C-alpha cells in the first residue's frame, strides 16, 4: 500500500470524483500505524449498513398466492409470493426495502427499481437462496420473488393461500434492540416434536433437520423461529437431540408459531454470535499460516518441557 493512499471505511464515503465530500484526515493519527496512511473521513451513512432485524415480529400477514411460474412483469418468470393484510408495515415502504417473511428478508438486486430505500440495506446483493427480492407493493400488499434454493432450505414452499406469516421490517438506526441480532438468513428448518401447555404458556420441543446447528444452540441463549426471537429453555444434545422454547401468552398473540402443532416445520436461524465464536476459537488453536505450530501444540510442548525439567 502506498503511504499516501486513502483508506475508505465501511461508513460509505465517496471520493470527490464520485460525488462525495472532499477527503479529510481522520481523527486517528498515522503514527498509530507502522507506515504512514492517510485516513479518509466521511459522514456516517446508515443506508450502507448491513440489513438487520431484531426478531420482534411487527405484524402477521396473509398469503394471497404462491405462484410457481409468475410470468407478470413483477414475477420475472419465477416463483413469487404475494402477502396482504400488512398495511401497517407498508406506510413508509419503498421499492427495495427489506421485510423479513417468516425469517427470510427481501433485498434489492441488480434488476430491482432504483428508488432510494429508507431502511438499512446490504452493501452488496446477498447470495441466491438466502434472501428474497421485493418486486411490487401497494398500500396493503407486497410481492417477493423466491429462489429455488430458498424453497429447498425453508418452509416457504409449503405456504398456501390464507397461510399466515410473521413480518418485520429492517431496523432503523434508532430502533431499540429488544430481541437479538437477526440477519434473516435461515440456516435450516426444524420439526415440532411436541407442544405442551404449561400454565398459560406453551412449550415447543423442536428437532432441526440439520443437527449440526445444535452446537450453536445453548440454554438461555437466543434462537430465531420463523423470524421471531425466542429464548431457549432446554437443550438435549446427541443423535436424537432437541431444544425447547416457551411462548408466553402475549407472544402467542403476536406470532404465527403459536398456532402450529406437532409435525409442522419452522424456519430456524441460529445466533450468529455462536458462529463467530466458533471460528475465532478454531483460528486460535489452529495457529497462523505458514507451517507454524498451532497454539495447542505449543501448549503441549511447553507442558512436556516443564515435566522433563522436574
Find out whether 192 and 230 touch, Cβ atoms under 8 Å.
no
Q: What is the mean pLDDT of residues 160-171?
A: 87
Could you confirm whether 4 is annotated as catalytic? no
Average pLDDT over residues 112-130: 36
User: By the 8 A CB rule, do 150 and 184 touch?
Assistant: no
Highest mean pLDDT among 3-7, 23-27, 140-144, 232-236: 232-236
- Catalytic site includes residue 29: no
Is the pLDDT assigned to residue 265 strictly greater than 90? yes
- The per-residue pLDDT for 114 is 37
Report the alpha-carbon distance of residue 297 to residue 246 in Å, rounded: 43
Average pLDDT over residues 201-211: 97
- Give the pLDDT confidence score for residue 295 in this predicted structure: 67
- Of the residues 42, 53, 100, 224, only one is catalytic, namely 53
Q: Could you tell me if 61 and 104 are in contact, meaning their C-beta atoms sit under 8 angstroms apart? A: no
Q: Which of 86, 93, 131, 228 is catalytic?
A: 131
Distance CA(125)–CA(206), nearest Å, equals 32
For the cut 50, the answer to whether the pLDDT of residue 116 exceeds it is no
| Model confidence band, residue 15 (pLDDT cutoffs 50, 70, 90) | very low
Give the model's confidence band at 33: pLDDT under 50 very low, under 70 low, under 90 confident, else very high.
very low
What percent of the chain has pLDDT above 90? Answer: 30
The average pLDDT across 220-234 equals 93
Is 133 an active-site residue?
A: yes
98 in catalytic set: yes
Ranges 15-24, 188-197, 296-305, most confident: 188-197
Which of 11, 23, 30, 147 is labelled catalytic? 147
Q: Which of 170, 9, 182, 150 is nearest to 81 (CA)?
A: 150
Pick the CATH number of 59-169 from 3.40.1390.30, 2.40.40.20, 2.40.30.20, 3.60.15.10: 2.40.30.20
pLDDT band per the 50, 70, 90 thresholds, residue 1: very low
* Residue carrying C-alpha cell 396482504: 84
Q: Please indicate whether residue 21 or residue 160 has the higher confidence score (pLDDT).
A: 160
Taking all residues of the chain, what is their mean pLDDT, rounded to a whole number?
A: 74
What architecture is the 188-270 domain classified under in CATH?
Beta Barrel (2.40)
Kindly report, residue by residue over 39-75, the tens digit of the pLDDT. 344 444 444 445 678 788 888 999 998 888 776 767 6
Confirm whether 131 is a catalytic residue: yes
State the catalytic residue, choosing from 51, 54, 80, 133. 133
For residue 281, the 8-state DSSP code is H
Confidence band, pLDDT 50/70/90 cuts, at residue 124: very low
Asked about 231 being catalytic, the answer comes back as yes
Predicted model pTM: 0.62
Set 185, 190, 204, 242: catalytic member: 185
Amino acid at each position: 500500500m502506498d503511504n499516501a493512499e486513502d483508506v475508505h471505511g465501511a461508513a460509505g464515503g465517496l471520493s470527490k470524483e464520485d460525488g462525495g465530500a472532499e477527503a479529510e484526515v481522520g481523527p486517528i493519527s498515522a503514527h498509530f500505524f507502522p507506515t504512514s496512511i492517510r485516513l479518509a473521513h466521511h459522514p456516517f451513512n446508515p443506508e450502507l449498513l448491513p440489513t438487520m432485524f431484531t426478531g420482534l415480529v411487527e405484524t402477521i400477514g396473509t398469503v394471497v398466492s404462491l405462484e410457481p411460474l409468475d410470468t407478470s412483469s413483477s414475477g420475472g418468470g419465477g416463483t413469487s409470493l404475494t402477502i396482504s393484510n400488512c398495511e401497517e408495515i407498508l406506510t413508509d415502504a419503498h421499492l427495495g426495502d427489506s421485510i423479513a417473511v417468516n425469517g427470510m428478508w427481501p433485498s434489492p438486486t441488480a434488476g430491482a427499481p432504483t428508488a432510494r430505500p429508507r431502511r438499512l440495506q446490504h452493501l452488496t446483493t446477498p447470495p441466491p437462496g438466502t434472501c428474497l427480492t421485493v418486486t411490487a407493493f401497494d398500500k396493503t400488499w407486497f410481492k417477493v420473488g423466491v429462489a429455488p434454493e430458498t424453497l429447498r432450505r425453508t418452509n416457504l414452499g409449503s405456504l398456501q393461500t390464507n397461510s399466515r406469516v410473521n413480518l418485520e421490517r429492517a431496523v432503523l438506526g434508532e430502533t431499540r434492540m429488544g430481541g437479538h441480532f437477526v440477519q434473516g438468513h435461515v440456516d435450516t428448518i426444524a420439526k415440532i416434536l411436541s407442544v405442551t401447555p404449561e400454565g398459560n404458556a406453551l412449550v415447543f420441543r423442536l428437532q432441526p433437520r440439520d443437527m449440526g446447528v445444535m452446537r450453536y444452540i445453548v440454554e438461555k441463549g437466543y434462537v430465531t423461529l420463523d423470524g421471531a426471537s425466542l429464548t431457549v429453555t432446554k437443550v438435549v444434545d446427541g443423535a436424537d437431540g432437541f431444544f425447547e422454547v416457551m411462548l408466553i401468552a402475549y407472544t402467542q398473540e403476536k406470532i404465527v408459531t403459536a398456532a402450529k402443532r406437532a409435525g409442522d416445520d419452522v424456519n430456524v436461524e441460529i445466533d450468529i454470535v455462536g458462529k463467530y465464536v466458533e471460528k475465532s476459537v478454531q483460528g486460535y488453536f489452529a495457529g497462523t499460516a505458514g507451517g507454524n505450530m498451532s497454539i495447542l501444540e505449543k501448549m503441549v510442548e511447553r507442558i512436556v518441557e516443564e515435566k522433563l525439567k522436574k
